[in-house]
Copies of this chain bind each other. A is one copy, B any other.
Amino acid sequence: MGLTEIRTAMKVDLKKPADQQDGLHNRWHPDVPFAGKIKGGEVVKIECVDWTGGQIGNNDSADDMKNIDLTKIHYLTGPFDVEGAEPGDVLVVEIQDVQPFQEQPWGFTGVFDKDNGGGFLDEIYPNAAKAIWDFEGIFCSSRHLPHIRFPGLIHPGILGCAPSAEILAEWNRREAELISTTELQRIVAQPPQPQNVHAGSASGDLKEKVGKEGARTIPGRPEHGGNCDIKNLSRGSKTFLPVHVAGAKFSVGDLHFSQGDGEISFCGAIEMAGVITLSLTVMKNGVRDLDMKSPLFLPGPVEPHYGPGRYLTFEGFSVDEKGKQHYMDATVAYRQATLRCIEYLRRYGYSDYQVYLMLSCAPIQGHVGGLVDIPNACMTLGLPMDIFDFDISPVGPAKKLDMGACAVASK
């Protein structure tokens, strides 16, 4: 009794390449070997590298962001064998804490180059950019984004159980169909990618198989959650995940110190390495009992709260920046709301890229307004005024401040 530490179910080594660590993997596949075992109801700590596996440095250049190797992402910790979990069960994940490593109290937010990753606003902002964040307890601040500071709603971007072979096949089918039928002049989805596959302890044929079939970790998917990037999956939250394979094969990673709704610059959260403390409980036959097709969750009770009246809120509609009317397109509408906010904050001296980074990682609220008033979807973006150390309320002309610069890529 007493003095008992919580067990660490998996450690990582920040000084060793991620793809040399058996407790990590970067594809979703039912055959990735188990990395460890967790009892039902057990509380464990799980260490995670940052999603890029250490490709980004704490410096003032965005060249690393520009040249990032995206075939490697995301490095997740797991998969874990959860005692007693079987297909049809629900895995209840209670997140009890998320912390950066004490010896690495910093993280990063990036804008990818349009030709290597892109992002929500890449047609307007095609260049790579970066901000480094320093962590001081619950707070973060950045030398690249002066005059803001806020507590993180810390969370994992990714948590989920492995797909079954059938589900994996369906993912590959439908995403391939999209790739083959799209009329968009851009990459719309990432098919399995053997290059830089990391399947934990698997090697040889098994690793090759995972590389050929394994789903990329980039999108969240309805059948298991995965990279849903929901900022509210923070401390105290309980997520209900469907189990598709024996032992659940639960993985977690992509820790975020903070993220805005939408995570708009793609590498948009404050990405970090760290430790997550969680418990895993099996709800037998939960998929049937809850009639559950996708994960659901209860947020925790300790989110930062500023009061509703402290959110300066921008409206966006599904008319794009060229004046084209889209039909009920919430994505276009949310993009417009982000552009309205950029225009507003630019008045104070921030560069557009600085605001793009800020909206990606600060605790922005992205809400649905009206989604039925044809042809215009209306979305809102709420910006908490209290994260600024000056008054941004809409009272008239803005006074420009010295805002320095975010890190940019060399030509």
A119-B372, A138-B97, A325-B175 known; A291-B105 Cβ under 8 A: no
Q: Does A77 contact B (CB under 8 A)?
A: no
Does A375 contact B178, Cβ atoms closer than 8 Å?
A: yes
Query: Which residue on chain B has the smallest CB distance to residue A225?
Result: B315
Does B302 contact A138, Cβ atoms closer than 8 Å?
A: yes
Which A371-402 residues sit within 8 Å CB-CB of chain B?
A: 371-380, 382, 386, 391, 393-394, 396-398
Which A86-103 residues sit within 8 Å CB-CB of chain B?
A: 95-97, 102-103
Q: Does A212 contact B (CB under 8 A)?
A: no
| Cα distance A102–B96 in the bound complex, in angstroms | 14
Does B302 contact A315, Cβ atoms closer than 8 Å?
A: no
Q: Does A204 contact B (CB under 8 A)?
A: no
Q: Does A17 contact B (CB under 8 A)?
A: no
Interface residues of A, dominant DSSP: loop
Does A236 contact B295, Cβ atoms closer than 8 Å?
A: no
A408 to chain B minimum Cβ distance, whole angstroms, is 17
Total copies of the chain: 4
Does B334 contact A331, Cβ atoms closer than 8 Å?
A: no
Q: Within 8 Å CB of A370, what residues of B?
A: 157, 220, 227-230, 262-263
Does B296 contact A376, Cβ atoms closer than 8 Å?
A: no
A289-B397, A344-B290, A368-B366 known; A317-B222 Cβ under 8 A: yes
Does A307 contact B386, Cβ atoms closer than 8 Å?
A: yes
A326 to chain B minimum Cβ distance, whole angstroms, is 8
Q: CB within 8 A of A315: which of B291, B295, B324, B326?
A: B295
Does B374 contact A262, Cβ atoms closer than 8 Å?
A: no
Query: Which residue on chain B has the smallest CB distance to residue A268?
Result: B372
A283-B396, A293-B340 known; A261-B327 Cβ under 8 A: no
What does the 1/0 interface line of A290-333 toward B look like (CB < 8 Å)?
A: 11111111111111111111111111110100011111111100
Q: Does A266 contact B (CB under 8 A)?
A: yes
| Cα distance A161–B106 in the bound complex, in angstroms | 31
A346-B291, A378-B229 known; A188-B327 Cβ under 8 A: yes
Q: Within 8 Å CB of A266, what residues of B?
A: 372-373
Q: Does A369 contact B (CB under 8 A)?
A: yes
Q: Does A205 contact B (CB under 8 A)?
A: no
| Cα distance A299–B286 in the bound complex, in angstroms | 35
List 26 contacting pairs A-B, 8 Å CB cutoff, sorted by A.
A1-B59, A6-B105, A43-B137, A151-B302, A174-B324, A189-B327, A218-B374, A220-B369, A228-B369, A228-B370, A228-B378, A229-B373, A230-B367, A231-B369, A261-B368, A290-B396, A294-B340, A297-B313, A300-B308, A301-B307, A305-B308, A330-B331, A330-B334, A331-B377, A334-B371, A391-B391
